[in-house]
Amino acid sequence: METVKALVVEAPGEVAIKQLTLDKLGSGNVLIKIAYSSINFKDMLALEPRGGIIRDYPMIPGIDLSGWVVASDDSKISVGQEVLVTGYGLGVNHPGGFAEYARVPADWLIPLPSGLSLKEAMVYGTAGVTAAMSVIELEQAGMSPQQEPRILLTGASGGVGSLALQFLVKAGYQNVQALIRKDYQASLVENLGASKILLASDLVSSGKPLEKQEFDYVLDTVGGEVLSRLLPKIAYGGAVTTCGNVGGLNLETTVFPFILRGIRLIGIDSVALDQKKRQKIWSLLAKEWKLSSNEAVRVVRLEDVVQVAQELKAGQHLGRTIVEIS
Ligand SMILES: NC(=O)c1ccc[n+]([C@@H]2O[C@H](COP(=O)([O-])OP(=O)(O)OC[C@H]3O[C@@H](n4cnc5c(N)ncnc54)[C@H](OP(=O)(O)O)[C@@H]3O)[C@@H](O)[C@H]2O)c1
């Protein structure tokens, strides 16, 4: 193998499929032949001229990958091993998963947990880790199926949202309301287990700092105005996780939900998550929370990535899309 096929962002907004020599794969002590990658909101931003994700060009985007080790200088990682990588600098400041091969530091690798295929691992990818972290954090804040809490999940038709919905259902939660933007997204989230639908356009605000206590827990993937409108509606002692900014960067609130209702706002970051916690999450994804439905999953090729990113940008994408590379 002298050259490697890769999707390359040459300069802001300039994207092409190219043959690259191996020295363009960056530094690292493990070389991986990539089987699958996946397409996340952040990958869409990486392909955008003003996405704010990539700082040094050229760059191979793709924040997730799974594949086989073909060379390793690390005694803990052997040739032929099946592995996955999500986050760290992958596809952002280190050549990523939209290529036939990747070279990464051994510390970034998660050995593929037994019970998962390389393909299934990418159905989860960064989105699955983030969704699982959000559910775990809400449970640490007191959420449990026995209480039959009223849960609201925002961005429920998206990558993180559709997986979080399935994990909540799998974990035994029955009262999970899904916030979506468009009517046609309703059938997907109902099939995945949502008990009720809330349209984002119906999420009204009275402008008061505290409103009727409608939700015990909120798993938010949208941010911005949606999250701002929800904080006054959280019940006493409740909690909210926030992981995304698809709905905007700014959060408008008062201190009242926090100091008069004792609610908690919990930030989620999957990129720099500690390796031990990652492994725990992956074993949860491979066993207790393993999903059987492929309803919200599409498989495409490297040549289709730009088109899928356009769908994500236009709000025409549902669930998860994974990229079959080899
Ligand atoms: N913190 C972390 O570690 C981490 C990890 C992964 C992802 N994220 C972030 O989480 C967010 C979701 O990622 P994703 O990959 O799941 O994206 P996605 O697949 O594009 O899903 C986004 C979802 O949000 C909905 N949405 C977009 N704008 C909205 C608005 N203004 N009001 C209500 N709903 C809106 C979308 O609906 P439409 O299809 O109708 O637009 C879609 O259902 C992104 O901001 C991403 O960067 C963060």
Residues touching ligand 1 (Cβ under 6 Å) are 40-42, 126-127, 130, 155, 157-161, 181-182, 200, 221-222, 226, 243-247, 268-271, 312, 315, 317
Q: Which of 247, 258, 264, 267 is nearest to 209 (CA)?
A: 258
**Residue 2 scores a pLDDT above 90:** no
**Can you tell me the distance from the alpha carbon of 5 to that of 275, in angstroms, rounded to the nearest whole number?**
30
Measured in Å, residue 9 CA sits from the centre of ligand 1 at 22
**Residue 243 scores a pLDDT above 80:** yes
Q: Map residue 233 onto helix, strand or coil.
A: helix
pLDDT given at position 292 = 83
Q: What is the pLDDT of residues 62-107, one digit of tens each?
A: 999 999 999 999 999 999 999 999 999 999 999 999 999 999 999 9
pLDDT given at position 245 = 96
Question: Two tokens at 321?
Answer: 């899309």
Q: What is the 8-class DSSP label of residue 293?
A: -
pLDDT given at position 55 = 87
Cβ–Cβ < 8 Å for 300, 321: yes
**Can you tell me the distance from the alpha carbon of 325 to that of 249, in angstroms, rounded to the nearest whole number?**
34
Instruction: Give how far Cα 91 sits from Cα of 61, 133, 238, 244, Å.
Output: 4, 21, 36, 18
Would you say how long the chain is, in residues? 326
**Can you tell me the distance from the alpha carbon of 281 to that of 138, in angstroms, rounded to the nearest whole number?**
15
Amino acid (one-letter) located at 41: F
Radius of gyration of the chain (CA): 20
The position carrying tokens 């289709």 is: 304
Q: Has this prediction a pTM greater than 0.75?
A: yes
Measured in Å, residue 227 CA sits from the centre of ligand 1 at 12
**Can you tell me the distance from the alpha carbon of 219 to that of 165, in angstroms, rounded to the nearest whole number?**
9
pLDDT given at position 295 = 81
Mean pLDDT along residues 174-178: 97
pLDDT given at position 72 = 97
Q: Residues 6 or more apart from 205 whose CB is under 8 A from it?
A: 211, 228, 229, 232
Peptide bond into 232 cis (omega under 30): no
The gap from C-alpha 95 to its chain's centroid, in whole angstroms, comes to 19
Mean pLDDT along residues 286-292: 93
Question: Two tokens at 279?
Answer: 């492994």
Measured in Å, residue 319 CA sits from the centre of ligand 1 at 10
Q: Residues 6 or more apart from 19 whose CB is under 8 A from it?
A: 3, 4, 5, 6
pLDDT bracket for residue 294 (50, 70, 90): confident
Q: What is the pLDDT of residues 11-26, one digit of tens each?
A: 999 999 999 999 999 9
pLDDT given at position 241 = 98
pLDDT bracket for residue 296 (50, 70, 90): confident
Mean pLDDT along residues 279-307: 94
pLDDT given at position 169 = 96
Residue 13 sits at the vertex; the CA angle it makes with 25 and 47, to the nearest 5 degrees, is: 60
Mutation probe of ligand 1 site: the residue of 37, 41, 281 with most atoms within 8 A of C-beta: 41
Q: What is the pLDDT of residues 130-159, one digit of tens each?
A: 999 999 999 999 999 999 999 999 999 999
Cβ–Cβ < 8 Å for 127, 159: yes
The rounded percent of the chain whose pLDDT value lies above 70 is: 100
Mean pLDDT over each residue of the chain, to the nearest integer: 96
Q: Residues 6 or more apart from 237 whose CB is under 8 A from it?
A: 142, 261, 262, 263
Measured in Å, residue 196 CA sits from the centre of ligand 1 at 20
Question: Two tokens at 57?
Answer: 């060009």
**Residue 191 scores a pLDDT above 90:** yes
Find the range with the poorest average confidence among 171-180, 228-237, 284-293: 284-293
